Structure 1
């Protein structure tokens, strides 16, 4: 049974869930509104072993549906132009979530993102970041949270090169997931299929790979 929080997150994020066919294209006003970081996400989708649901701006639904007979990789190649963003690119990422994070020990503390110890990459997330430090107080690793909506929060993690191999990332991800669940949302985790290190972190933190894929359209520097 699909977790209620995940269901409400996907309905809110995409405009509808689940897909009722192999490929379902729906229009959603969410594609016209700024996302968690203030940027526009003109297309978003989630695929499962049962089908793909692709969310696009309402005025672009028919244009994208005209591509529906193409193989999915070809449709994705044409998707940026079909939603009005020529020069952007479509991408796919492994989509994971967890309602039972691994019982790993905490590794960090939550602090405001404007604290001087927080590195620049974490500041756009807003709110609090989860930070691991060494005995001298220097930053080692951290988690930012993409607060997509009240029902779903996506975890992003990064570790300084010198601190890798200590298990910090998996502990931070599990710690962040517990807090997100306590706040009433479902924690999600997305990564490039080729990023094996990120895949190992996710699995060790209690985020299994169930064959789900997230799709999107991003600018040259995204997602």
Structure 2
């Protein structure tokens, strides 16, 4: 189990052999974790970056003057382009557990967690039974699992998100995969959660054609 295994499988190549290596992968034409196609996907480190596209698009994307042209070049101009901070952890923060694992389709699970499938991690108010926060897992491959966390507005400021992310990360590691965490470049709240949960900012990025 390693981050290299995950990125090599997810993108089609890793580590990068140049500043920006465009590689072809049939995974860019196949359904992703949620059943949708992700036609261009990349990860960048201080040593270089890999941008994965369908094999037939490699030549055009390699010749592009700007990455902003990529959505149109791969046939998804309506989706636009995204950039995010890419983090991972092998040593989550030793924070106390904050939630319980339950099937994503269990009664009462918030609807935003349904698409993740499998089991999701949910924090519930012990008195009211209200769901306060949760973590879903994007199961990209057997080597890497991306964590997504949301906290209800009324429950923010209690440290639930960081505890849930650390708890979920420990489970992913126990299952033999690497937990990853992405957030928008300007999302300081999500960055604070990641730092507190043991996902340091190493100067890595994720980028590609946006989901919508």
Report whether the alignment pairs 1:149 with 2:146. no
User: Residues of 2 paired with 1:89 and 1:99: CA distance?
Assistant: 32
Over aligned residue pairs, what C-alpha RMSD do you find?
0.9
Question: In 2, Cα distance between the equivalents of 1:137 and 1:100?
Answer: 31
Name the residue aligned to 2:152.
160
- Work out the CA distance in 2 between the residues paired with 1:82 and 1:65: 10
Query: Which ranges in structure 1 are unaligned for 5 or more consecutive residues?
Result: none
The aligned counterpart of 2:123 is 132
How far has the Cα of 1:9 moved from its partner?
Answer: 0.4
Return the alpha-carbon distance in structure 2 between the equivalents of residues 190 and 80 of structure 1. 20
Q: Give the distance between the partners of 1:219 and 1:171, measured in 2 at CA.
A: 27
| Structure 2 residue aligned with 1:84 | 75
Preserved contact between residue 170 and residue 204 of structure 1 (Cα < 8 Å): yes
Whether contact under 8 Å (2:38, 2:211) holds in the other structure is: no
Q: Find the residue that maps to 2:60 and give its secondary structure.
A: helix
Query: Is 1:112 the equivalent of 2:109?
Result: no
State TM-score, norm by structure 1. 0.93
Equivalent residue for 1:207, pick from 181, 186, 199? 199
Shift, 1:86, TM fit: 2.0
Query: Any conservation in 1 of the 2:6–2:144 contact (CA below 8 Å)?
Result: yes
Equivalents in 2 of 1:83, 1:95: separation in Å?
A: 23
Indicate whether 1:185 and 2:182 are aligned.
no
The 2-side partners of 1:86 and 1:206 are apart by: 36
C-alpha displacement at 1:87, in angstroms? Answer: 1.8
Aligned residues: 211
Distance in 2 separating the partners of 1:219 and 1:6: 23
Question: Match for residue 101 of structure 1?
Answer: 92
Q: Which runs of 5+ in 2 are unaligned?
A: none
Cross-structure match for 2:162: 170
Shift in Å at residue 116 of structure 1?
Answer: 1.7
Q: Alignment partner of 2:140: what SS?
A: strand
Deviations 1:65-99 (A, max 9, x none): 111xx3xxxx2210101111122211111000000
Residues in 2 aligned to 1:102 and 1:179: alpha-carbon distance in whole angstroms: 13
TM-score by length of 2: 0.98
Query: How far, CA to CA, are the matches of 1:195 and 1:201 in structure 2?
Result: 10
Q: Secondary structure at the match of 2:78?
A: coil
Aligned residue number for residue 28 of structure 2: 31
